[in-house]
Structure 1
Amino acid sequence: MKAAPEAQRRLLDLQAVDTTLAKLAHRRRSLPELAEIDAVAREISALEDERVRAQVVVDDLDRDIARLEKDIDQVRLRKDKDQKRLDAGAAMREIEGLQHELATLNRRQSELEDAELELMEQRETAVATLADVQARIAAAVGRRTDAERRRDEANDEIAKELEFKTQSRVPLAADLPADLVTLYDKIRSETGMGAALVHAGRCGACRIELYGADLNRVKAAPKDDVVRCEECRRIMIRTAESGL
């Protein structure tokens, strides 16, 4: 392929823009906020599991406490009933039985109330644990929201730079021979770089020094020949700095 030396040199300007575009795209994919958001999302997921377990403990204790309160109410009702029978003047043969039953019911009520008190203390601890988990979830959600805000701000900035560089690329490419740009774009799509300056006898892309037959080939090539590196296949741009 043939192209004027000046057109070939302007490929370096096009490559500079494309390199910036590639760096911006990489920066957008590699924003530290993305990793932070993923990490916080995993943390929130684990905390939600912990919250569910803590809530189950509270719910189980509430159910057990409600059952005990129901049992205590039943004992109280039975005591009131027996006491009313005593107060109403039960027959002598019933008094001893009622008194014995009342003593049994009092012990039962005391046992149930002690059990209820123990469960209520456990519930207090469980509720504190649940509140702690909920507070940690709220803090993590806050960190995620902040990271998402910073990510969006960074993306907005990158998008503006991408738009500016993309627009600046259009006239550069349009001012070059179409077949040269086509070749350049093909190489760039395959390798990430389409053209590089030869500097001090080295390919600017793969950094390999030219020698022997390869060096002679490049030296002998007419200035309007589009020369490619034998190693990396990029277009080699020859200038006064090339040392050829």
Structure 2
Amino acid sequence: MELRGRRQPRWPGQTSIRRCILKADQSRQWRLLDLQALDTRLDQIAHARAHLPQTAAITVAERELGDVDVDLVNARTAVDDVQRELTKAEQDVQLVRDRAARDRARLDSGQGSPKELTSLQHELVSLARRQGELEDLQLEVMERSESLTDQVARLDRARAYVAARLEALRAEEATALGGLESEVAQINTRRPDLVAGVGADLVALYEKIRVAGGGVGAAELTQRRCGGCQLELGTVELDRVRRAPEDEVVRCEECRRIMIRTAESGL
């Protein structure tokens, strides 16, 4: 690495400052673009891993499944409650039927005084009316039981659907993550060779700038425009870059990123 100092004012009237100039042959600088491309892709992969559409969909599906499970528990509890209510209604109806059967048997036998037989007749009328009321109640409970049972069946189907969708989403997420991890592994295999080709001195500067520059430490100068900040170089800046030796590592005066000169730079 060769460093030398020079004074370079950024604009007229500004106090000039001394800064160190890094020297690196063009082949090393061009490899730096390849390194930047790999690092940019690694950043893109990290962002993709954190924002997979399947991950967001899984969160929604898990919430849906939880809601369905709560509804299913409530529906099954309601079915159990109404089943106990139905059992009691059936028992009440049966008790009235048994009582009416006994009274009818006594009345048909003709045993007892006229007053007792008359009382039995009145009781049979009351029992018939009571039995009708209880049977209506039993029917209403049966209808509610059927409705709740249908609701449980619908919720069971809904849960199966959501669970299957959740399983599919998790499989898709695993596949997507596997693909990204495989690409990361490939990049990490290639990166050390590029780092070695760029050189420790240039890589150190690049990494420092990349941290401060939002992941971009070096960019191609294309048609007089910095690829880092996308600003076109002014006349003074363009002249400075044009006059700089090929092995000088030049930086953008605006974004301070390393600018790599190529045949497309328009110098």
Q: TM-score range by the shorter chain?
A: 0.7 to 0.9
Task: Give the residue type in structure 1 aligned to 2:138.
Answer: E
Q: Distance in 1 between matches of 2:125 and 2:134?
A: 14
Secondary structure at the aligned position of 1:185 is classed as helix
Q: Which residue of 2 aligns with 1:146?
A: 168
Q: Which amino acid aligns with 2:31?
A: R
Residue in structure 1 matched with residue 69 of structure 2 by the alignment? 48
CA distance, structure 2, for counterparts of residue 187 and residue 97 of structure 1: 107
CA contact (8 A) 1:3 1:177 kept: no
Contact 2:36 2:218 in 1 (8 A): yes
- The 3-state SS of whatever aligns with 1:196 is strand
Which residue number in structure 1 is paired with residue 31 of structure 2?
10
Q: Deviations over 1:173-227 (max 9, x none)?
A: 1333323212212222331211111112111122211013322332333333322
Moved more, 116-125 or 45-54: 45-54
* Paired residue type of 2:163: V
- Specify which of 80, 88, 96 is matched with residue 75 of structure 1: 96
Equivalent of residue 82 in structure 2, options 61, 66, 79: 61
> How far off its partner does 1:134 sit?
1.7
Q: Which has the higher contact order (CA 8 A, sep 6+)?
A: 1
Given the alignment, which residue of 246, 252, 256 partners 1:233?
256
TM-superposed deviation, 1:112: 0.6
Is 2:180 aligned against 1:155? no
Shift of 1:85: 5.3
Equivalent residues in 2 for 1:1-40, closer than 5 Å: 1-5=21-25, 6-40=27-61
Which residue type is aligned with residue 110 of structure 1?
G
Given the two structures, how large is their TM-score scaled by the length of structure 1? 0.87
**Residues 21 and 166 in structure 1, CA contact (< 8 A), matched pair in contact too:** no
Q: Does 1:89 align with 2:111?
A: yes
Matched with 1:214 is 237
User: CA contact under 8 A between 1:12 and 1:196: conserved in structure 2?
Assistant: yes
CA distance in 1 between counterparts of 2:38 and 2:258 reads 16
**Corresponding residue for residue 176 of structure 1:** 198
Q: Which amino acid aligns with 1:19?
A: T
Please report how far the alpha carbon of residue 233 of structure 1 lies from its aligned counterpart in structure 2 after TM superposition. 2.1
Read off the aligned partner of 2:204 and give its amino acid letter: T
| Structure 1: gaps (5+ residues) | none
| Overall identity of the aligned pairs, in % | 43
Match of 1:148, SS? helix
Task: Say yes or no: does 1:117 pair with 2:134.
Answer: no
Deviation at 1:138, TM superposition (A): 0.8
Tell me the distance in 1 between the aligned counterparts of 2:48 and 2:136.
Answer: 64
Scaled by the length of structure 2, what TM-score is found? 0.80
Per-residue CA deviations over 1:14-55 (Å, capped at 9, x if unaligned) read: 112112222222333333322332332233234334434433
State the secondary structure of the residue aligned to 1:237.
strand
**1:134 equivalenced with 2:156 (yes/no):** yes
